[in-house]
Amino acid sequence: MRKVSFIFILFVLCKSNLFAQEQLFKVLVNKGKNLVDDKPLYAGSKIHAGQTLYVVDGGYLALIYKNGKSMEIKTPGIFKVADLERQAIATSGTFSKKYAELVLNEITKPNDAITIDRKKNMKVTGSVERGTESGLVMITPKNSDLLSKEVKLIWLSNASCTEGYVVKLKDMFDEPLKNYETTDTFVTVNVEELGLKNPKSFIVTLEPKQAQNKSNAEGKLVKMLEGKRAEELEREFKLVQEEAGDESALSKIILASFCEQNKLYLEAINYFEQATSIEPAVEEYKFAYQNFLDRLGLYNVKK
């Protein structure tokens, strides 16, 4: 009888120990000298059941729960993992987990792997995106698909453009669609206002306002997605958006990853811009953004 009781107690103890060691979260981003129990946290750190997080003043943590749900911790304090699990367990993040993991792999990638990626990209694209003869640099690849009906086009400020900029849109038959004049470094395009005909694509050029008639700016092609492909991406995007959660930097980074994987490069740029604007002190997000731009051949764009 004693032997049976001893085996049962041993089984319970072993099971309890395994439960305590269960991995619940993974760290996507860590800013500051935050701790799990008494150990420092890094991108990729694993957090187990029964542990406690200590977030310092000015600290920031982006976490992925085992079911894919992501969350941020932006306030200093002591956080029981069990309490965080209760917040994360309510909803699944199956779709968003895939893209959060891609971001984590990017952030923790060594420099030599990044160099190899750049060389691969050069073989695919065949060239590096450069500025125009006027020195203007659009943060836009040569080709991009577009899912949304509204997109922001951005570029780097240029001191020589004393009168501002002109963004010109034309169709595939070289017919003008719309011009935007601005002194800002962006314009927001409502695609439905362009009256696009098949093929539903347009070409974008950026010129200095004071020399627009003399410029030979290179156009950037934007192709609107339609039909079954667009419907499928719309459905998946909405699922990822719901799972990624609120209007946080982390949710924007996850959406940017989704857009990149589906060649929605302009939309990815918009989400990266939003993420780095929401959390400007998180270097990992800037790092992920710059590596993304490098993959597009936009090496001369430094964030």
Quick check: 20 pLDDT over 70?
Answer: no
Q: What is the pLDDT of residues 115-158, one digit of tens each?
A: 555 555 544 443 445 545 557 889 999 999 999 999 999 999 99
Which pLDDT does position 142 carry in this prediction?
92
Q: Give the pLDDT of residue 247.
A: 85
Q: What angle do CA 40, 46, 50 make, to 5 degrees?
A: 90
In this structure, what CATH number is given to the domain that contains residue 207? 2.60.40.3580
Tokens linked to 180:
């935007």
At residue 54, the pLDDT reads 97
Q: Is 80 contained in some domain?
A: yes
**Looking at the structure, do residues 121 and 260 belong to the same domain, yes or no?**
yes
The mean pLDDT of 175-202, rounded to a whole number, is 93
Q: Are residues 162 and 284 in the same domain?
A: no
132 within domain boundaries:
no
Q: Are residues 238 and 216 in the same domain?
A: no
pLDDT at 125 (0 to 100): 43
Q: Which of 224, 253, 285 is the last residue of a domain?
A: 224
Q: Which of 191, 224, 257 is the last residue in one of the domains?
A: 224
Stronger pLDDT, 214 or 211, i.e. the higher one: 211
Both tokens assigned to 46 = 């694993």
User: Which of 87-91, 154-158, 233-237, 292-296 is predicted least confidently?
Assistant: 87-91
Maximum CA pair distance of the chain? 97
Do 170 and 22 lie in one domain? The reply is: no
For residue 302, tell me if it sits in a domain. Answer: no
Number of domains comprising the chain: 3
Q: Is residue 269 included in any domain, yes or no? A: yes
Indicate if 168 and 191 belong to the same structural domain.
Answer: yes
Mean pLDDT of 200-227: 85
What is the SS3 string spanning the chain?
CHHHHHHHHHHHHHHHHHHHCCEEEEEEEEECCCEECCEECCCCCEEECCCEEEECCCCEEEEEECCCCEEEECCCEEEEHHHHHHHHCCCCCHHHHHHHHHHHHHHCCCHHHHHHHHHHHHHHHCCCCCCCCCCCCECCCCEEEECCCEEEEEECCCCCCCCCEEEEEECCCCCEEEEEEECCCEEEEEHHHHCCCCCCEEEEEEEEHHHCCCCCCCCEEEEECCHHHHHHHHHHHHHHHHHHCCCCHHHHHHHHHHHHHCCCHHHHHHHHHHHHHHCCCCHHHHHHHHHHHHHCCCCCCCC
pLDDT exceeds cutoff 90 at 82: yes
Confidence of residue 105 (pLDDT cuts 50, 70, 90): confident
Do both 86 and 8 map to the same domain? yes
Same domain, yes or no, for 77 and 11? yes
Same structural domain, 119 and 246: yes
Across 49-58, 132-141, 182-191, 272-281, least confident range: 132-141
Q: Average the pLDDT over 161-190 and give the result.
A: 94
The answer to whether residue 160 is domain-embedded is yes
Domain boundary among 201, 224, 247: 224
The pLDDT of residue 76: 96
Same domain? For 116 and 236 the reply is yes
Confidence band for 91, pLDDT divided at 50, 70 and 90: low
Residue 101 lies in a domain: no
Query: Residue 65, class by beta-carbon neighbours within 10 Å (0-12 exposed, 13-18 middle, 19+ buried)?
Result: buried
Residue 105 lies in a domain: no
* Statement: residue 111 has pLDDT above 70: no
- Quick one: 202 and 255 in the same domain? no
Please check whether residues 217 and 262 belong to one and the same domain. Answer: no
**Do 259 and 208 share a domain, yes or no?**
no
127 or 199: which carries more pLDDT confidence? 199
Whole-number pLDDT of residue 18: 43
Instruction: List, in order, residues 6 or more apart from 34 with CB less than 8 Å away.
Output: 40, 41, 53, 54, 55, 56, 59, 61
In a domain, 211, yes or no: yes
Q: How far apart are CA 262 and CA 142, in angstroms?
A: 16
How many angstroms separate the CA atoms of 102 and 288, rounded?
10
Domain that holds residue 55: 2-91
